A and B are shown apart, each in its own frame.
Chain A
Amino acid sequence: MDLIPSPDSLGLPAPVWLLLLLHDVTQTIHFLFMNFVLGGSWFLLWLHFGRKVDWKEQLYQRCLSVLPVALSMAITFGIGPLLFVQVLYGQFFYTANIIMGHFWLGLLLILVIAFYLIYVLKAKSGSDDRFSSPILRLTLHLAIALSFTFIALLHTANAVLVLTPEIWEEAYTGSLWGTLLSRSEFLIPRYLHNVVGAIGIGGLWIVWIGNYRGSLNASDQARSGAVMSLVATFIQMILGFWYLAALPTDLVKSLMRFDSTLGWHFASSILVAMPFTVCLFALTVIPCHRLLRWITSGLGALLVFAMVVFSEKLREVLLENYFTLAEWKVDTQWGPILIFLGLFVFGLVVLAWIAWALWKGFGQPGDPSEEISS
């Protein structure tokens, strides 16, 4: 018997394209913040060993200050895709969640612990208030980085379960991780692709932080981020081939022929990835070049968006034997949609105003990093 629960009888409150667009945009923003959280937590561990060098110490303090804010924004922007995926693929998503059960809920416990551990690190990171035991500090760093890496694994496992209803029964009635790992050819490359990709985008954040005003050896700080990003991007490309090889053969052939929408999405990801990599390479040479930073970051954000869109299209294709989005009955709630879109624009204006207030605030005399970390 087909294990797919029937779609909700209420149908969709908006056209599929709009829900998909909202999902993809919010998912991209979520990823941009999340990538710094995951990549940055490992970068901090690396920096921790070099804190006797002044510029590394400064970069360490600044990254540590940005980390909780980025995490907070990653969680907040994660709500958007969480809403829209439930509307579009609720019957798959809820089932995957239930199969993962305690692991799925446990993810949040790990998240909140990691969040507070960051605050512990921050509170103990001042020059006169350090942990007496470097091993304890190292343990905290490892705990934070491993927590985020494990959370990424849980999210990837969930995404894989959503895409593979054929293993639901086995995973539900038997061992979840046994079932997933027995299909590791799909889970592992996808997971590594996500994690290494996060380190790649996380590196761009370091470039910006390194270039922040008042930086000691700004080029060294920024270059460390650019190198991290470039190396990760190269590794991610190799992993991308592995991930591609894990997909069904027909699908891969179709991708290579570019004769389907999915193929075009794939091509557009590659088209964005190429100039992004070139710019990254240039950034390792001239890491303080302002225009180059903007261009590389823009391409990075565009690349994340292209990958999100490709990933969404891939989900549509892999699930088409079970369900297609065209099967949804649509009854559009134009009133609430217009209010939402209006407020969304209003929210952006408010965020811009907040950014202006921040700029004004940190334009005052004094070292902003000290203020933030206080």
Chain B
Amino acid sequence: MNYPAWDVPHIGSGWVIGSIAIFHVMISHFAVGGGLYLPMAESRALKKGRKDWLEFLPNHAKFFLILTGVYGAVSGVGIWFAIGLASPEGTSTLIHNFVFGWAIEWVFFIIELSTAAVYYYTWNRIPERLHLKVGWLYAGASFFTLFIINGILTFMLTPGAAWLEVAGSGQEASRFFQAFFNPTYWPSLFLRTLVCVSLAGLWALVTASRLDGNKQGALKTEVIRWSFGWLLPAFFLMPICFLWYLYQVPESQSQLLGLGISTIGSGTFTQVTRTALITVMTSATILCIAYFVAYRNPREFGFGYAVCLLVLGLAATGSTEKAREMLRKPYVVGEHMYSNGIRKTPVGEPHISEVEKFNSEGYLTQSLWATEEERVAWAEFDHAWNGGVQLASETLGPQVAPETLRRGELMFQGQCLACHTRDAYRSMKNFLRDRDLTSIRNMLGMLHDYKEDSPYRAFMPPLVGTETEREALALYLNEMAHGGEQAQPAEPVHQVARTNN
């Protein structure tokens, strides 16, 4: 436990990142797709000599600039701030490996923002061809921001054999390009590009919906139908790209999705499957509404309908990102670092993984965030334990020493808090409601042993620490769940596993 824990009550740190990321993804992908939409539309209008289009497009460009330039830029920094708070170890690994990747993205980002502003402010003020060039420059720069960030995002799911081979050796820097162009890079790039294109169409429908169907009927019809066309490539090509993507995802990860699909009949979906289904359903609904309401009746297509489409689009992008995140479980960097920041691959000398190290030396002996008094009390507890004194924890319940509970809390903060909260999202109180102390110990034992057939293995990291640290965690969880009261008999382990995944 290198860093202190960032404890976010009720929603957990994951949802803090999620709530920023969902909106950011929607807007940043629009920034890429919209960057292509605007010069293409302008070019079309210029070729056809359509003044009405050229009057409509600056409004869309203004909306585009304010949305992407303000919220897109701030929320992007917001993700940086949030991941640094929630997962400093993971963020540190990414930044030390890819700082120049991000720096390259940053250059494109500066060009992107500058050209977006110039594109809007110089409308009708510079020669048409020059203005169009600015638009194309924006399109290119914004696509390259996607090109770069895609490498880092996909690295987290599939770092690739070449990078994993040297992970923990201090030689990681030498595999920058292999890590960047990792197995899921290209399918993900195609997928995201398709999303960008469809979001450009979706947002354009919002601007077009503001046109007056009676006074500007012809223009509104044309803009809506042309924008509808932007939705189509995604609907036809995304399934193919998605299969390509899944093909590249390691079996250990994709099995969560497969398991969910194969058990749909019995209703035991995995969360990742449920989330992916939301993507499919919302996307299909978008297509239906866009066709039947917008394409077929463009003059009547009002702002309310457009907002509905937007909300569905938000649900689709949000659920897709959520599914991608869950597909990565139990890692934050695939096969290298678990979601709680513990490294699976050996680091430094002696050449053992942090899992083995923490199991033998103790998880909290490495922690910087415990006081000397607490450490003395823990040593006494360990001594009593090692001395063979039977700690009848059931009877200890109400009298568990505060230092022991603190030890358990630190274990919880370090190893569980990245994904769970105490009482709301992925609530530990809920999970443990029907478990007594013995059952909690058993569950923790399974997590610690981390056997090949463990139901937790697919989505949870191993529990690390010495026997007494795990006992402290069990006592803390028991205290949290029951506050010293006796729990109901435990439910079967497989049932809990199903609830968790």
Interface residues, chain A, with chain B CB atoms under 8 Å away: 1-6, 8-14, 22, 68-69, 72-73, 75-80, 82-84, 86-87, 90-91, 93-95, 97-99, 101-102, 104-105, 107-108, 111-112, 115-116, 119, 168-169, 172, 329, 331-333, 335-337, 339-340, 343-344, 346-347, 350-351, 354, 357-358, 360-362, 364, 366, 371-372
Contacts and interface: CB of A to CB of B under 8 A. Distances in A.
A336 B2 contact: no
B92 A86 contact: yes
B113 A73 contact: yes
Contacts of B80: 79, 82
Contacts, number: 210
B111 A357 contact: no
A221 B253 CA distance: 63
A78 B77 contact: yes
**Interface majority SS (helix, strand, loop, mixed), chain A:** helix
Contacts of B91: 86, 90, 94
Interface string B337-353: 00000000001100000
Contacts of B109: 76, 79
Interface stretch (B99-107, B185-193, B214-222, B487-495): B99-107
Interface in B334-376: 347-348, 368-372
Nearest 3 pairs of A and B residues by beta carbon: A336-B100, A94-B88, A10-B96
Contacts of B122: 357-358, 361
Nearest to B101: A336
Contacts of B114: 350-351, 354
Given A108-B75, A357-B126, 19 more contacts: A3-B368, A9-B168, A9-B348, A10-B96, A22-B103, A72-B70, A76-B106, A76-B113, A78-B77, A86-B92, A91-B2, A94-B3, A98-B5, A98-B6, A105-B85, A108-B81, A115-B74, A361-B118, A371-B125
B103 A94 contact: no
Contacts of A94: 3, 84-85, 88, 91-92
Contacts of A93: 84
A12 B109 CA distance: 24
Contacts of A350: 111, 114-115, 137, 141
A246 B355 CA distance: 45
Contacts of B69: 72
Contacts of A8: 92-93, 96
Contacts of B110: 76-77, 347, 351
B427 interface: no
B104 A1 contact: no
Interface stretch (B169-177, B315-323, B430-438): B169-177
Given A332-B173, A351-B110, A80 B103 contact: yes
B393 interface: no
Give the one of B69, B76, B99, B369 with max A CB within 10 A: B99
Contacts of B102: 79, 83
Interface of B: 2-6, 8, 16, 66, 69-71, 73-78, 80-82, 84-85, 88, 91-93, 95-97, 99-104, 106-111, 113-115, 117-118, 121-122, 125-127, 130, 134, 137, 141, 168, 170-174, 176-177, 347-348, 368-372
B164 to A, nearest CB: 14
Contacts of B82: 105
A340 B104 contact: yes
Contact of B170 (A9, A68, A69, A99): A9
B486 to A, nearest CB: 32
A97 B347 contact: no
A2 B103 CA distance: 33
Contact of B106 (A9, A80, A336, A354): A80
A338 B464 CA distance: 42
Nearest to A6: B2
Contacts of A340: 100, 103-104, 107
A80 B8 CA distance: 28
A49 B417 CA distance: 51
A344 B107 contact: yes
Nearest to A22: B103
Nearest to B125: A361
A11 B4 CA distance: 21
Find the residue from A79, A99, A351 having the highest chain B CB count within 10 A.
A79
A289 to B, nearest CB: 29
B125 A364 contact: yes
A84 B95 CA distance: 9
B440 to A, nearest CB: 27
Nearest to B371: A169
B424 to A, nearest CB: 17
A151 B102 CA distance: 25
Given A1-B372, A86-B95, A358-B122, A10 B170 contact: yes
Contacts of A169: 369, 371
A265 to B, nearest CB: 25
Contacts of B121: 358, 361, 371-372
B480 to A, nearest CB: 20
Contact of B77 (A82, A351, A362): A82
Contacts of A76: 73, 106, 109-110, 113
A333 B111 contact: no
Contacts of A99: 4
A360 B104 CA distance: 29
Given A10-B96, A94-B3, A98-B88, A331 B372 contact: no
Contacts of A168: 4
Contacts of B125: 361-362, 364, 366, 371
B13 to A, nearest CB: 10
Contacts of B127: 360
Contacts of B5: 98
A150 B76 CA distance: 21
Contact of A5 (B3, B76, B81): B3
A104 B117 CA distance: 29
Contacts of B371: 169
Nearest to A359: B126
B176 A172 contact: no
A33 to B, nearest CB: 11
A194 B110 CA distance: 25
B347 A9 contact: yes
